[in-house]
Amino acid sequence: MKSVSVSAPGKFVVLGEHAVVYGKPAIALAMDMRFSMRAHPSNEFRINGAPANQYNMSPHMKYLSEMHGNRPMTVFIDGRVPSGSGLGSSAALSAAYAAAVRALNHLPTDKASLAKDAFEAEYAAQGRGSPMDTSASVQGGGIALNVPYKKEDFLWHIDKGDRSWDISKIDVPKMTFVIGNTGIRAPTGPLVEKVRKYKDTNTFARSIVDEIGDVTLEGLKAIESNDKVKLGELMTYGHKLLSILGVSCPQLNKLVKASQPYSYGAKLTGSGGGGCMIALTDKPEKVAEAITLHGGTPYIVNTGVPGVTVKV
């Protein structure tokens, strides 16, 4: 094989942040911001023309290369998913590179194999995590964790230590969201630990986690019936619940509030503390303008997009 071109989408969490850690449902949608790369065999590892080293070869790529024999290749990367923003940039990188490595080593590139490889790379690089981001990037469209599903919607089962996940696909209509990036980087670990301590010591916090799970299941029904009004209401309510858990921040709240007059609903997405919010809207330019005026960086994105693509 002379070369392979691959790409994988970024993602955002619609509902279920933090509660998913405790076995509650979560929903993630792939979006039309993609991580693309072209790769071919070579005598040494090179990335975008430069020899691969600790500065330009991510631990995800290193792990996947070693997993499949460490065959040298030249890789050209074009990443359109903002990094460090909770939009799945490392998951998209892992999914795309897993596809490239497998294709160049004449290994199967079925989605189940790619999802498991990409998750292992993410886990090795971060030391924790669920397969939500990588599964969304590999599958495209939308995926759900920890929800009742029809047999035909089951995608794959992933185990890690004493934890396991069933991932199912969901039918996602074309919808437009505006992402607002606060520009604030907030590590996920401390926020997850903050919620854990609150939940372990407070029955009210435990009830909030349970309610987030219930809201997520209602959101799944709204997505499948293309009920944007209902989904927007649930998103806004979900933001209030996450704020009670203490994982929002003033800048996120400001962007959510600014988006609401022009959207069906808005909320933080991801672990919170900074990062991004999302707004479901039919007036993306208005929402993007409001986000800009309030200090955020907007991205207009669409759902219903394909997952990993492989062209040889």
Percent of the chain with pLDDT over 70: 100
DSSP designation for 262: G
**Higher pLDDT residue, 55 or 283?**
283
Tokens at residue 17, please? 């942040």
| 3-state secondary structure (DSSP) of residue 86 | coil
160 pLDDT tier (thresholds 50, 70, 90): confident
Residue with tokens 């089962």: 157
Output the pLDDT for position 1: 64
Sign, Cα dihedral of 203, 206, 207, 208 = positive
Residue with tokens 């669920």: 130
pLDDT tens by residue, 13-24: 999 999 988 889
Neighbours of 253 (CB within 10 A): 14
Residue 283 has pLDDT above 90, yes or no: yes
| 3-state secondary structure (DSSP) of residue 250 | helix
> How far is it, in rounded angstroms, from Cα 312 to Cα 148?
37
Tokens at residue 308, please? 């990993």
* Average pLDDT of the residues in 275-300: 97
Output the pLDDT for position 238: 97
Partners of residue 9 on adjacent β-strands:
34
Read off the amino acid at residue 205.
A
> How far is it, in rounded angstroms, from Cα 56 to Cα 93?
13
> How far is it, in rounded angstroms, from Cα 190 to Cα 195?
9
How far is residue 65 from each of residues 1, 52, 58, 72, 100, measured CA to CA in Å? 17, 12, 11, 8, 10
Angle between helices 59-67 and 111-126 (to 10 degrees): 130
Residue with tokens 């991801």: 270
Output the pLDDT for position 301: 97
Domains of the chain: 4-171 (3.30.230.10), 176-302 (3.30.70.890)
Torsion of CA 20, 18, 252, 119, to 10 degrees: -60
Q: Please give the radius of gyration of the chain, using alpha carbons only, rounded to the nearest integer.
A: 19
* Average pLDDT of the residues in 249-257: 97
Q: What is the mean pLDDT of the chain?
A: 93
Q: Identify the weakest region by mean pLDDT among 86-90, 103-107, 173-177.
A: 86-90
Residue with tokens 């995608």: 155
Counting DSSP H helices and E strands in the chain, the numbers are 9, 13
Assign 3-class secondary structure to 218-229.
Answer: HHHHHHHCCCHH
